[in-house]
A and B are shown apart, each in its own frame.
Chain A
């Protein structure tokens, strides 16, 4: 029997949840609002919330100051490329772990995850040297490879937990009906695995998009993504709040919109497939 809820109780819940939600969201909201103010209004005392002259001047100033489109393009290529590459390498691995498990499967998974705990800064200089040797410094290819490697353990782990949910009996049934391995993979497994792969892709695009150690340290001018674009607005330009806000809004907008539209897959992705 479902519990009946009084309207009064529901109202209190709604009020509390909305207050907390808005409080958590407030820094982002404030940044977006400030990006439409003039610099003088942005630091007005007391602060102005909505009643100001909305202006687009900060956005055009940011466009003039830096080549936003190039940073954006670099972010798209690096985040997309590293995720795609990671999926291609991780799918067979996760597949075999889920369907042909051995005694060591769990150890291998935990070992993979533990490589993520290695402090990046400890290997910064060696990677830097290797990158110079191979001509990869400040290139999108180099950064794509590094981000693929640092996210690979998470991709494998997530795919493994999703694949494990697919019942083996279905495969056996397909086999008995005379399906070849290829048919089995394309017509039986893939359709069932698509939602899991989609969630994995989504979460990893976000992680790669927001990665801010390797992207700051291995790029200069050519391959710098949006994380570096925004770091260049650190002091002293940071004092220009409205322009800083416009640049910030432009840096987070693509992923914020992507995340909101794909909320459902993302929530399941965020739990790394491990919580139901």
Chain B
């Protein structure tokens, strides 16, 4: 139905968004690529000329590199697993008939509105502090020795904080999807004698496929970029240095732009690997 005329009009309407995003992607990336081949120390002499692949080699061979990749994957993977599993369970619970469903939903959404700097500070001080935190009081109540969360169980702590922030998102999307499930299908299965687990596995779960795709896609995008939660709590110490945070330290704390830029290119590569992987799943499920 689309005519030649409407097609060129469409292209024109799309142009601003495409051009802006292309510029936003390419210009800084080109600069990062350029810097990555230079010895560039703004506070100690500035641009000290080309050094070939030195920065790339130094970045990978630094002892912090592989742990940072692992940390990144553990945080993203851990939060995804927790939010998806508990998200499905919570969505099923919230879908049951009850009193005050609207209010419960408000309570469950709330963490999504809390900015990362606030939630990190509140968890760090008021819950995980080994002396005055609520967890410490709780542990003492049961006669246990309070845990120094952010140093002894640093990764667990970060995953708890970030999962708390993202659980509402997963729950709501999955709840919306469950609500559109045809209840007659479930009732028919129940009458035919299918046990609850089978009903869940063969009817509910397949119905959630698309919603789960959205949850995983959107969360991965945001989880790869988490920054404030680490910046405010551990500052990258105690094994919580993600790849992003490592690059941040090279660029801002050591002011080594060349090295940081090489790290940036590695991060782009990692993001691309994950993106290709994700887009392939999403491309199939989104239509």
* A residues neighboring B (CB under 8 Å): 1-3, 5, 9-10, 13-14, 16-18, 20-22, 24-25, 27-28, 30-31, 34, 43, 45-47, 89-90, 92-93, 95-97, 99-100, 102, 106, 108, 110, 112-127, 129-130, 149, 152-153, 156, 168, 206, 209-210, 212-213, 216-217, 226-227, 230-231, 233-234, 238-239, 241, 244-245, 248, 251-252, 255-256, 259-260, 263, 266-268, 270-272, 274-276
**Chain A residues near B32 (CB, 8 Å)?**
122-123, 125-126
Say whether B73 faces chain A, with CB atoms less than 8 Å apart.
Answer: no
- B residues 1-59 near A (Cβ < 8 Å) are 1-2, 6-7, 9-11, 13-14, 16-18, 20-21, 24-25, 27-29, 31-32, 35
Q: Does B149 contact A (CB under 8 A)?
A: no
Q: Which residues of B contact A156 (CB under 8 A)?
A: 17
Among A121, A259, A260, find the residue whose CB has the most chain B CB atoms closer than 10 A. Answer: A121
- Tell me the complex Cα distance, A168–B2, Å: 12
Q: Answer yes or no: B271 CB below 8 A from chain A CBs.
A: yes
Q: Are A248 and B271 in contact (CB under 8 A)?
A: no
Chain B interfacial residues counted at CB < 8 A: 108
- Judging by beta carbons under 8 Å apart, are B227 and A276 in contact? no
Closest A residue to B169 by CB, please name it: A270
* A238–B251 touching, CB < 8 Å: no
- Residues on B with beta carbons closer than 8 Å to the beta carbon of A231: 117, 228, 231-232
Known contacts A252-B114, A271-B173, A27 near B123 by CB under 8 Å: yes
Expressed in whole angstroms, the minimum distance between the Cβ of A96 and any Cβ of chain B is 4
Inter-chain contacts of A216 with B (CB < 8 A): 117, 227-228, 231
Q: Do B17 and A117 touch across chains, with their CB atoms under 8 A apart?
A: no
Residues of chain B within 8 A of A110, CB atoms compared: 279, 282-283
**Residues on B with beta carbons closer than 8 Å to the beta carbon of A272:** 214, 218
Q: Say whether B113 contacts A206, CB under 8 Å.
A: yes
10 extra interface residue pairs, beta carbon distance < 8 Å, beyond A118-B268, A122-B265, A256-B114: A18-B100, A25-B107, A45-B137, A117-B224, A119-B244, A125-B31, A213-B227, A244-B121, A255-B115, A266-B109
Q: In this complex, what residue of A is CB-closest to B3?
A: A100
Sort A-B residue pairs by CB-CB distance and give the 7 closest, nearest first: A122-B264, A96-B10, A123-B28, A92-B13, A212-B228, A126-B31, A21-B107
Which residues of A have CB within 8 Å of B183? 2-3
Nearest A residue (CB) for B31:
A126
Task: Decide: B137 and A90 in contact? CB cutoff 8 A.
Answer: no
Point out residues on B near A: beta carbons under 8 Å.
1-2, 6-7, 9-11, 13-14, 16-18, 20-21, 24-25, 27-29, 31-32, 35, 90, 93-94, 96-119, 121-127, 132, 134, 137, 141, 164, 167-169, 172-173, 176-177, 180, 183, 187, 210-211, 214, 217-218, 220-221, 224-225, 227-228, 231-232, 243-245, 247-248, 251-252, 257, 260-261, 263-265, 267-268, 270-272, 274-275, 279, 282-283, 286
In Å, the complex CA distance between A31 and B124 comes to: 12
- Docked Cα-Cα span, A273 to B257, in Å, equals 40
- Asked whether B121 lies within 8 Å of A27 as measured between CB atoms, the reply is no
Contact present for A244 and B119 (CB under 8 Å)? no
Nearest CB in chain A to that of B232: its residue: A234
CA distance A248 to B48 in the complex (A): 44
A117-B176 CB under 8 A given contacts A212-B115, A212-B227: no
Report the Cα distance A244→B111, complex, angstroms. 18
Give B161's nearest chain A residue, CB to CB: A27
Q: Which residues of A contact B9 (CB under 8 A)?
A: 96, 100
Which of chain B's residues have a CB closer than 8 A to the CB of A234? 121, 232
